[in-house]
């Protein structure tokens, strides 16, 4: 199954208050394994950047001034995400901004039935604990030492690892199938980040489990030497 894990950075907390999306990062998963395909983009918000928002993600208006408007790359983003589920942490926030920008650019919004919220999953699995991305990465031993400031692609990469752990851990990728996983295809880019190396997954062929003719003969000889085996005891009359 194909899923997209994504994160956004914005100028503030609510698009209804005039705030805009300034960065998005997406990671493609197939059967909970990263394929190496990503989508990343910075966007000119056509407004100022509040100091408190810049302190979180480090994106200044000067840096964003020559970046495209969201509407200029919206079709590329929609092509990348397709119609698969979209995974985010506190997903209502990200969906709110993403759909606001899509609607503003004249595109259909993404149905909320496609939303997978890792914050809700974490609250169910770990009630009463801290559920921030940092706290959950620490809980599951996910290295975030390179995370100095928030960044959409970096946070999406961390969230992809966390999502796998919340979904059952690395063992969910184990399989007895002999067919290999689908190959990674070229990444989609709008600029801003290097392509991560695809994860290599080795799928081993199933091991035969049927008894050999010799083993069947030895088993029959062993069983014939048993005295009063339980399966030959007559059941009590009822």
215 marked ligand binding residue? no
| Nearest Cα to Cα of residue 28 among 97, 77, 89 | 77
9 marked ligand binding residue? yes
Q: What is the three-class DSSP state of 126?
A: coil
Tokens of 126: 């770990």
Sign of the torsion formed by the C-alpha atoms of 91, 97, 103 and 107: negative
Q: Are 157 and 196 in contact (CB under 8 A)?
A: yes
57 marked ligand binding residue? yes
Q: Are 106 and 20 in contact (CB under 8 A)?
A: no
165 marked ligand binding residue? no
Q: Are 149 and 134 in contact (CB under 8 A)?
A: no
17 marked ligand binding residue? no
- How far is the C-alpha of 178 from the C-alpha of 181, rounded, in Å? 10
For 17, list phi and psi in degrees, rounded to 5: -100, 15
Which sequence positions are flagged as catalytic?
Answer: 150
Q: Are 206 and 178 in contact (CB under 8 A)?
A: yes
Residues at the binding site for a divalent metal cation are: 7, 9, 155
Residues at the binding site are: 7, 9, 52, 57, 155
Residues at the binding site for substrate are: 7, 9, 52, 57, 155
């Amino acid at each position: 199954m194909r899923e997209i894990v994504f994160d956004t950075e914005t100028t503030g907390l609510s698009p209804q208050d005039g705030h805009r999306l300034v960065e998005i990062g997406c990671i493609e998963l197939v059967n909970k394994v990263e394929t190496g395909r990503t989508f990343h983009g910075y966007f000119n918000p056509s407004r100022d950047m509040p100091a408190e928002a810049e302190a979180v993600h480090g994106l200044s208006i000067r840096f964003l001034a020559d970046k495209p408007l969201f509407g200029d790359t919206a079709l590329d983003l929609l092509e990348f995400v397709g119609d698969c589920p979209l995974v985010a942490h506190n997903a209502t926030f990200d969906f709110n901004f993403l759909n606001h920008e899509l609607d503003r650019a004249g595109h259909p919004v993404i149905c909320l039935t496609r939303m997978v919220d890792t914050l809700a999953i974490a609250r169910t699995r770990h009630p009463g604990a801290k559920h921030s991305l940092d706290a959950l990465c620490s809980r599951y031993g996910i290295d975030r030492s390179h995370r100095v400031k928030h960044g959409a692609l970096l946070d999406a990469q961390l969230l992809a690892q966390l999502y796998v752990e919340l979904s059952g851990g690395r063992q969910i990728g184990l399989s007895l199938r002999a067919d290999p996983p689908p190959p990674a295809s070229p990444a989609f880019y709008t600029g801003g980040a290097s392509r991560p190396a695809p994860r290599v997954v080795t799928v081993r062929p199933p091991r035969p489990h049927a008894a050999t003719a010799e083993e069947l003969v030895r088993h029959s000889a062993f069983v014939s030497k048993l005295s009063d085996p339980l399966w030959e005891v007559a059941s009590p009359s009822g």
